[in-house]
Amino acid sequence: MEKLVSLYQGKEGRVSTFDIFLAFGYKDHRAFKKVIWANKEEFEKQGKLFESSTKDANSRKKGGQEKSYLLNEEQFTLLVLLAKNTPESVALKMRIVDEFFRMRTTLSRMAATRKGEDWLNTRKDGKQVYFQKTDVIKQFVEYATEQGSKSANMYYTNIATMENKALFILEQKFPDVREFLNIKQLFQVVTADQIIEKALQDGMTQKLHYKEIYQLAKDRVIQFSEIIGKSLVIEMTDKLKELKK
């Protein structure tokens, strides 16, 4: 079952009004948001009201984009008091309350975990290797530019995305995925950083075309991933299970 409460800005859980308006008995998302508009001052007392754009074929706006509110736990609780009830919404409310509780507990435990000496030392050592890799990527970007690449700067993002997809199963977006890795995963990503660094250096030394060099780095990371196996970066609402082990 897909989680409705998602991590927002790495700090707290939020639920989108677009994901829940039907279960609350509203046929139109706009009508559901009117509950918030009519009580906006009260909602803002519970925290800043963040908005997000969601693709919606029924949207009246150009491009099919619908604005939704991302509610924190207190704002959702207020919405429960103000919005109408249906048999479906009662079950949904209980589910979301449980998800908020689990995420809150998880974030608290994760904060304590990240203060642990072993994790902090591993993360610190990993940052040094990461910065070394970044220096080599900078050289590679210059190399690619000299060979005629018009968007070589994108390799900073492309390499990071390639590495994360090769090593991990990501079921949600993270502001910085490395902040949510366990110690074992931190060691693995350090090794992958070194593999990428070496591949880029080898390719440039052999004077390969920049696209071939990127593919070389990708192939080597995938080979490494096939040896160790991809691991799941646990969704925040499920992280508690791991931390209890």
pLDDT in tens, 178-231: 888 888 899 999 999 999 999 999 999 999 999 999 999 999 999 999 999 998
What is the pLDDT averaged over residues 5-32? 85
**Band of pLDDT at residue 159, cut at 50, 70 and 90:** very high
Among 90, 112, 134, the domain-final residue is 112
**Band of pLDDT at residue 161, cut at 50, 70 and 90:** very high
Averaged pLDDT score across all residues of the chain: 84
Shared-domain flag, residues 121 and 96: no
For the ranges 45-49, 50-54, 86-90, the lowest mean pLDDT is seen at: 86-90
What is the pLDDT averaged over residues 140-156? 96
Among 112, 127, 147, the domain-final residue is 112
For the ranges 23-37, 44-58, 176-190, the lowest mean pLDDT is seen at: 44-58
**Band of pLDDT at residue 176, cut at 50, 70 and 90:** confident
Among 56, 78, 112, the domain-final residue is 112
Shared-domain flag, residues 230 and 121: yes
**What total of structural domains would you count in the chain?**
2
Look at residues 218, 192, 235 and name the one whose alpha carbon lies nearest to residue 106.
235
Shared-domain flag, residues 179 and 166: yes
Please determine, for residue 83, whether its predicted confidence score (pLDDT) is greater than 80: yes
Shared-domain flag, residues 87 and 156: no
Dihedral of CA atoms 79, 82, 86, 89 in degrees, nearest 10, equals 10
Residue with tokens 């859980």: 13
Spatial contact of 19 and 4, defined as CB atoms under 8 Å apart: yes
Cα–Cα distances (Å) from 84 to 72, 75, 80, 144, in that order, read 19, 15, 8, 59
Shared-domain flag, residues 128 and 214: yes
Shared-domain flag, residues 93 and 124: no
Shared-domain flag, residues 226 and 125: yes
Shared-domain flag, residues 134 and 106: no
Please determine, for residue 57, whether its predicted confidence score (pLDDT) is greater than 80: no
Shared-domain flag, residues 81 and 129: no
More confident residue, 208 or 4: 208
Query: What domain range includes position 49?
Result: 5-112
Shared-domain flag, residues 86 and 155: no
